[in-house]
Amino acid sequence: MLDYKNPNLILETSEVEPGSFTWRSPSNLAIIKYWGKHGVQLPKNPSLSLTLSSSFTDTLLEYKPKESGDRNISLEFTFHQEPNEPFREKVVKFLESVTDIFPFLRQLDLTVRTGNSFPHSSGIASSASAMSALALCLCSLEHELFETLEDDDEFDKKSSYVARLGSGSACRSIFPVASLWGQTGEVEGSSDLFGLPMAEEVHDIFKDFHDDIMIASTAAKSVSSRAGHSLMDSNPFAESRYADAKRKLHFLLEAMKKGDLETFGRIAENEALTLHGLMMSSNPSYILLKPNTLEMIERVRRYREETKHPIYFSLDAGPNLHVLYPGEIIHEVRVFVDEELKPLCEEETYLQDWVGEGPVQV
């Protein structure tokens, strides 16, 4: 099985000059949700996402030869220009877990400076953007030191694999427009180990799709996604859920290839509510939706019924509503969003996002 372990990636530190890399990587919105895992960050069902654009993480990785001779991970870390020890500990743990892939990390003093363009831990997949940005920095570092990742496709594949080890959904953020993660007979080359680019498999209408993220709450979630995945192990509906997700993937792939917005929207909304239904049926159960989330859902449905516009909603593992629609109706929809949904948001705040072109090296 592919694991990228390479004990030969060892440095002659006397020949290494200090340097740095910066990557900006976006969050993504899963239409078919990933909820439940096994092994080392492996999904119980395949998922399909849209890559976002303005919800992103910027990560700077600086490196220099280590002055001490110890074998520990040496990391200075800041989040939004401030030290953050809990985040630092998570990143150190992740870096230690990938030293079989990047053994040279133990030979360097590292500095990571990172920050998001959106609220952390509120259900906009901050771990996806953060871990994909860090994985891209690590692969850039490997290539700079060893010239091993000249091929762009191989670079992306390895970045996706490494990102997955930090956060499952992060493996989908590596690719533009749309990405599939999880082995399925529906798509040749699909794998549980890394994401696949799907931009060439979707209709052009989805390449100009908008996602207005309505901030019902910026508070950190009461239950983390990591804990939520673990609760699926004892969820009485888990197995039927995984089968249902695989069935719906077939219809979603077909709809996105044809530009069938009605089928796309029906699946997106069903998946969003299924995700939160799984949370409510966990033991212990929990609820991440807020009263204003539900009110916004009702207003989106009513607006769609009245106007016949193809406007739909989705949710990540949090209370904030993603309002999805094609760019061709943006002027009409934005009036509705500003007048009907914005007043229901915390401090009347929402994020204007859209389907994007994936990560960029800054």
Query: Is residue 70 exposed (0-12), middle (13-18) or buried (19+ Cβ within 10 Å)?
Result: exposed
b/e per residue, 119-156, with b = 16+ CB within 10 A? bbebbbbbbbbbbbbbbbbbbbbbbbbeebbeeeeebb
Cα-Cα-Cα-Cα dihedral sign, residues 248, 253, 258, 259: positive
Single out the residue of 64, 52, 51, 62 nearest to residue 23, CA to CA: 62
pLDDT above 60: residue 134: yes
Q: How many CB atoms lie within 10 A of CB 72?
A: 10
| Chain position carrying tokens 């372990």 | 5
Phi, psi (degrees; rounded to nearest 5) at 149: -125, 55
104 with 68: CB under 8 angstroms? no
Q: What's the pLDDT band for 121 if we cut at 50, 70, 90?
A: low
b/e per residue, 239-252, with b = 16+ CB within 10 A? eebbebbbebbeeb
What confidence score (pLDDT) does residue 240 get?
A: 98
Q: Which amino acid is at 222?
A: S
What confidence score (pLDDT) does residue 122 get?
A: 54
116 with 129: CB under 8 angstroms? yes
Structural domains of the chain, ranges and CATH numbers in brackets? 13-200 (3.30.230.10), 204-360 (3.30.70.890)
353 with 54: CB under 8 angstroms? yes
What confidence score (pLDDT) does residue 218 get?
A: 87
Q: What's the pLDDT band for 125 if we cut at 50, 70, 90?
A: low
Helices 152-166 and 126-146, interaxial angle, to 10°? 130
92 with 84: CB under 8 angstroms? no
Q: What single DSSP character describes residue 54?
A: E
**What number is the average pLDDT over the span 290-315?**
98
Q: How many CB atoms lie within 10 A of CB 112?
A: 23
| Chain position carrying tokens 């089968």 | 243
Tens of pLDDT, residues 326-360: 999 999 999 999 999 999 999 999 999 999 999 99
What confidence score (pLDDT) does residue 229 get?
A: 95
**What number is the average pLDDT over the span 133-142?**
98
pTM of the shown model: 0.96
What confidence score (pLDDT) does residue 212 get?
A: 97
Q: What's the pLDDT band for 219 if we cut at 50, 70, 90?
A: confident
Tens of pLDDT, residues 53-102: 999 999 999 999 998 778 999 999 999 999 999 999 999 999 999 999 99
pLDDT above 90: residue 46: yes
Report the C-alpha gap between 28 and 172 in whole angstroms: 7
Tens of pLDDT, residues 264-285: 999 999 999 999 999 999 999 9
What confidence score (pLDDT) does residue 93 get?
A: 98
What confidence score (pLDDT) does residue 284 get?
A: 96
What confidence score (pLDDT) does residue 91 get?
A: 98
Q: What's the pLDDT band for 222 if we cut at 50, 70, 90?
A: confident
Half-sphere exposure of 284 (CA within 13 A, CB side): 5
What is the percentage of the chain residues whose pLDDT exceeds 70?
98
Tens of pLDDT, residues 8-20: 999 999 999 999 9
What is the percentage of the chain residues whose pLDDT exceeds 90?
93
**What number is the average pLDDT over the span 199-215?**
97
Strand partners, 350: 214
